[in-house]
Amino acid sequence: MSGSAMRAGSRSPADQVGGGFIALYALAYLSTALLFIAPLLVTLALKVNSLVGIDRAPASLSLIAGVGALVSIVANPFFGQLSDRTTSRFGMRRPWMIAGLVGGSTGILVVALAPNVAVVLLGWCMAQLFFNALLAAQVAVLPDQVPVVQRGTVAGILGVCLPLASVGGTYVVNVFAGHELAMFLVPCAIGGVFVVLFALVLDDRRLEPADRTPWSSRRVLEAFYVDPRGHPDFMWAFASRFLFVLAYALLVTYQAYFLLDRLGSAEDDVPHQIFLGTLAQAAVLVTASVVGGRLSDRTGRRKVFVVGGSFVYGVALFLVAMATDVHGFLVGMAVSGLGFGLYMAVDLALVVDVLPDEATAAKDLGVLNIAGALPFTLAPVIAPAILVVGGGSYVALYCVAAACALLAGLAILPVRRVR
């Protein structure tokens, strides 16, 4: 990309970002995670359960989560490509952050007020569509603004955001338990403040109209594809992310039903138990993610942290699968924090280091997001089959999830461009 195309918001490799930028970026990223994760962990499952009952809820939730994830698979790379081509005087990323926040929050409102499963599905698809526009623009800020020597550190801090959002989201839902509208909308209000603040102060990249590539149907299709032969490292990283997130999706999508069915928890206790589980996970994860990211930058190594994190997460899922009471569940969740923290701290930095082209960073990161979204489509499809084969056993389901995490570690070994 030409110098004029990067007239604002561009940095030389030697320019390091300051603590204020990192803190605000992390708060905005955490807020975006909160928008996604609060419904996924608790409120969406409880909303469906209130509409159709526990016997039909798993199948209905599978449909909603699966179709919503399919929408996100299309939306993230598509909006990423639009962001890479945006010539607005407000920048390339900022307009999509604001539009994504407003549209996605409207979708959450539709879910909260839905009188039936069909309207829940409509609202969740709308939320996924617009929140992924926000996410695509926000993730692209990492290669836009952060030099290579800081990417492990910044990615490590961003890696803390998902579990902290999980804790925050389940806590807010727990506080407003029994008030359905508040359980859905308060996380949007809290998250929206920091997303807007970051978007307003961001020294965003700007693209000159003369530097924008011509639009064509072929270019639209390219938004969803990276040549695996030309960029094998990116595709191995894609495979690893897919397997790891599949393990995570199998855990969190059916977490409420695991507690209800496997451990015999009362429905009113489920939000509090999920909050305790995410808190136990986050207590370990925060340290693992921040320390892992800094060590990765200092040693110049990425792969050992990603592989190690995958293996620890796999072991943790085995512990969750074997739990016979809430205490065992909490132990497994705590151990998962170590694996999740190490993996997510460094995996994003590794991916950014092997991007095919910095000029199409948002588009390529959108393709990577398919690896983060597709598992949430497949998990609701394969989980019922696993439960049938396993005689309705959630132990079998979580053992499969553990195997996926172990394979995620093996998939990163062939990557060559980073150590």
Report the pLDDT averaged over residues 306-320. Answer: 91
Query: Among positive and negative, which fits the CA dihedral 132, 138, 143, 144?
Result: positive
Query: Among positive and negative, which fits the CA dihedral 145, 147, 153, 155?
Result: positive
Of 303, 16, 26, 290, nearest to 148 (Cα)? Answer: 16
Taking 80 as the threshold, does the pLDDT of residue 97 lie above it? Answer: yes
How many C-beta atoms surround the C-beta of residue 116 within 10 A? Answer: 9
Within 265-353, where are the H helices?
Answer: 270-299, 303-322, 326-353
- Enter the tokens of residue 327: 């205490």
Question: Do the beta carbons of residue 235 and residue 226 sit within 8 Å?
Answer: yes
Phi-psi category of residue 88: left, alpha or beta, with phi > 0 → left and psi -120 to 50 → alpha? beta
Q: Which CATH superfamily is domain 14-208+220-411 in?
A: MFS general substrate transporter like domains (1.20.1250.20)
**CB under 8 Å to 217, separation ≥6 — which residues?**
none
- Enter the tokens of residue 324: 């016979």
Taking 50 as the threshold, does the pLDDT of residue 164 lie above it? Answer: yes
Question: Do the beta carbons of residue 160 and residue 290 sit within 8 Å?
Answer: yes
d(CA 284, CA 376): 25
Question: Do the beta carbons of residue 182 and residue 316 sit within 8 Å?
Answer: no
162 or 5, higher pLDDT: 162
Give pLDDT, residue 319: 92
Taking 90 as the threshold, does the pLDDT of residue 99 lie above it? Answer: yes
18 or 7, higher pLDDT: 18
Question: Do the beta carbons of residue 145 and residue 242 sit within 8 Å?
Answer: no
d(CA 62, CA 177): 23
Report the pLDDT averaged over residues 13-37. Answer: 83
Average pLDDT, the chain: 81
Report the pLDDT averaged over residues 367-391. Answer: 78
Of 54, 415, 85, nearest to 261 (Cα)? Answer: 54
Of 328, 324, 321, 338, nearest to 281 (Cα)? Answer: 338
Chain segment 47-79, per-residue pLDDT in tens: 888 888 877 887 888 788 878 878 888 888 888
Give residue limits of the domains in the chain.
Answer: 14-208+220-411
d(CA 97, CA 198): 9
d(CA 166, CA 37): 6
